[in-house]
Structure 1
Amino acid sequence: MVLVTLIGDSHAHIGNRFYYMGPNDECKECRLKNVCLNLETGSLYEIVQLRDTEHECTLRESNVRVVVVEKVAFQAAVPKKLAMDGSMITFESRKCDNLGCPNKRFCDPSNLTDGDKRSITEVLEKLECPKGENLVRVKME
């Protein structure tokens, strides 16, 4: 599915990634809000195509440009017994205090919150856990 949205002209570059943080109160009356506010709050997106159309934005000091984006899957460490393609899980961070662990960013990802319901889209590799937990890295939406 093609996702078309608007982004500030200075940020409109193919490959640029951004988190959609949700609507701004000032956008409620804007005629472009259905295009600009059509993403999922808290999700990471990557710009894959630029369109030539620009619009004036009353919120920004510059124009906004029409872009095509794709949602970027979250990556996280989950117990192997929960890791099945297509399964829906309730995410729980691993609560590990080993700051030097190479898997820390997957065990406690900053873009996921405990209790989030997520669908596993791909099971990746087994992770070597210094604490001995049986974990795998997965992609989730």
Structure 2
Amino acid sequence: MSKESKITLIGSKLAKTGGEFIYLGEIEECKNCKFKRLCHGNLEVGRKYKIVSVRSANHPCIVHEGGVKVVEVVLADLTIMIESKKALEGVVLNHEPITCDNFDCEYYSFCNSEGIKEGEKYKIKQVLNEKINCPFGNSLKKVIVELVENK
């Protein structure tokens, strides 16, 4: 997926350049809001976004104390765990989540990453040089990836 920017609204207290968030979808309070389309129309549920610019104007919102600001966002890079043998910078792969139900593991959130779905293509931007001690003995590497369009 491209790094094309999108315009949306976010709570003024959260509107900081470089900030990241996972879009969780519309809530009941948004149904009759005049800004609903701008807030929710451009984003995909479950995706992680990075704020690249914040506009100064503040708009009223019944959900966010202090109102909302217009922000420009792009899909954020993701840090995920993959099998060591596949961890090569520049490689494009289909996402295969690491099967793990050890919720107490320090690496759980990287093996079960939010913002990417099984089978989606991504490009490895960087392989992190970090020793991973998987409790199940899996040979894993932490990588930074960007989503790419399925063609």
The TM-score, its normalising length taken from structure 2, stands at: 0.67
- Give matches, 1:50-129, under 5 Å: 50-80=54-84, 85-89=91-95, 91-95=96-100, 105-109=109-113, 111=114, 116-122=118-124, 124-125=127-128, 128-129=131-132
Runs of 4+ in 1 over 6 A off after TM superposition: none
Segment drifting more, 80-89 vs 45-54? 80-89
Q: Which amino acid aligns with 2:24?
A: M
Note if contact 1:93-1:108 (Cα within 8 Å) is conserved in structure 2. Answer: yes
Equivalent-residue separation in structure 2 for 1:26 and 1:40 (angstroms): 19
Partner residue in 2 for 1:39: 43
Instruction: Tell me how far 1:68 sits from its aligned partner.
Output: 1.2
Partner residue in 1 for 2:20: 17
Note if contact 1:77-1:136 (Cα within 8 Å) is conserved in structure 2. Answer: yes
In structure 2, which of residues 136, 140, 149 is the aligned counterpart of residue 135 of structure 1? 140
Q: Which amino acid aligns with 2:43?
A: L
Instruction: Tell me how far 1:36 sits from its aligned partner.
Output: 0.4
Unaligned runs of 5+ in 2: none
CA displacement, residues 66-124 of structure 1 (integer Å, 9 cap, x when unaligned): 011222122222225656733323x3224285x677x5553344x268x7333222162
Aligned residue-pair number: 137
Question: Matched residue of 1:39: which SS?
Answer: coil
**Superposition RMSD in Å:** 3.2
Equivalent-residue separation in structure 2 for 1:2 and 1:92 (angstroms): 27
The TM-score, its normalising length taken from structure 1, stands at: 0.71
Instruction: Give me the identity figure in percent.
Output: 27
